[in-house]
């Protein structure tokens, strides 16, 4: 598969170099919000949505800053725009759809400080993706993030019912699960290559 083809970009971001399990981005929510499938999935969806916003914002910012040759400001610009966009989305959701806010909104502030979001913006810039590619990349990354957090949540729910020794409860268990998941995802290395 061609490394620049949209399908490869999507697969790469979602599975082969999964943001969470291979690139170590967005670990905090993966450890924090993956206790229950019921919350993990909305969290994943909310993150994926913000990734999309971040990707679009970064694309725009790159054009503007590229025009002024001020690329070094990109980081500040990305994060400022992402943070504001998230805040805005939060307000809008809170105002117009309280049920949705209760389901997703509480995660939104958390997402601002999620590496995966900024990661999308930074990586698509460094890969010099064009608009469609950026879009695909962010969608892939979002799908990968949802996959990872949902798998984690499922496993954690299952392990919650297990007779886990006290020392392994909590964060250590989540990390072990993430480690094994990441080990299993290594099977996808080189896929499509």
Distance CA 44, CA 29 (A): 9
Is-contact 145 51, C-beta < 8 A? yes
Does position 55 bind ligand FES by CB under 6 A?
Answer: no
| Stretch of 2-10, 21-29, 133-141, 161-169 contacting ligand FES, by CB under 6 A | 21-29
| Near ligand FES in 97-116, by CB under 6 A | 114-115
Distance CA 62, CA 150 (A): 32
Distance CA 144, CA 28 (A): 15
Closest CB to other proteins among 132 and 169? 169
- Residue 77 CB, shortest distance to other proteins, in Å, is 6
- Residue 182 CB, shortest distance to ligand FES, in Å, is 15
Closest CB to ligand FES among 114 and 174? 114
DSSP labels, 11-42? HIIIIIT-TTTTT--SHHHHHHS-S-HHHHHH
Closest CB to ligand FES among 26 and 142? 26
| Stretch of 23-31, 42-50, 125-133, 147-155 contacting ligand FES, by CB under 6 A | 23-31
Burial 38-76 (b: 16+ CB within 10 A, else e): ebbbbbbbbbbbbbbbbbbbbbebbeebeeeeeeeebee
Q: Which of 35, 94, 100, 106 binds other proteins (CB under 8 A)?
A: 94
Does position 109 bind other proteins by CB under 8 A?
Answer: yes
For binding to ligand FES (CB under 6 A), which residues are involved?
Answer: 26-28, 114-115
């Amino acid at each position: 598969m061609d490394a620049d083809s949209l399908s490869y970009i999507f697969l790469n971001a979602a599975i082969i170099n999964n943001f969470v399990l291979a690139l170590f981005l967005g670990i905090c929510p993966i450890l924090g919000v993956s206790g229950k499938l019921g919350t993990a999935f909305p969290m994943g969806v909310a993150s994926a949505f913000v990734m999309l916003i971040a990707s679009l914002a970064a694309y725009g910012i790159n054009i503007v800053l590229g025009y002024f040759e001020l690329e070094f400001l990109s980081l500040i610009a990305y994060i400022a725009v992402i943070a504001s966009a998230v805040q805005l989305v939060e307000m809008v959701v809170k105002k117009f759809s309280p049920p949705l806010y209760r389901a997703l909104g509480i995660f939104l502030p958390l997402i601002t400080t999620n590496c995966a979001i900024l990661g999308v913006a930074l990586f698509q810039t460094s890969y010099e993706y064009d608009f469609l590619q950026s879009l695909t990349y962010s969608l892939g990354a979002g799908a990968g993030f949802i996959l990872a957090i949902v798998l984690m949540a499922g496993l954690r729910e299952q392990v919650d019912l297990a007779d886990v020794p006290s020392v392994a409860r909590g964060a250590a268990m989540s990390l072990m699960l993430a480690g094994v998941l990441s080990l299993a995802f290594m099977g996808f290395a080189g896929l499509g290559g």
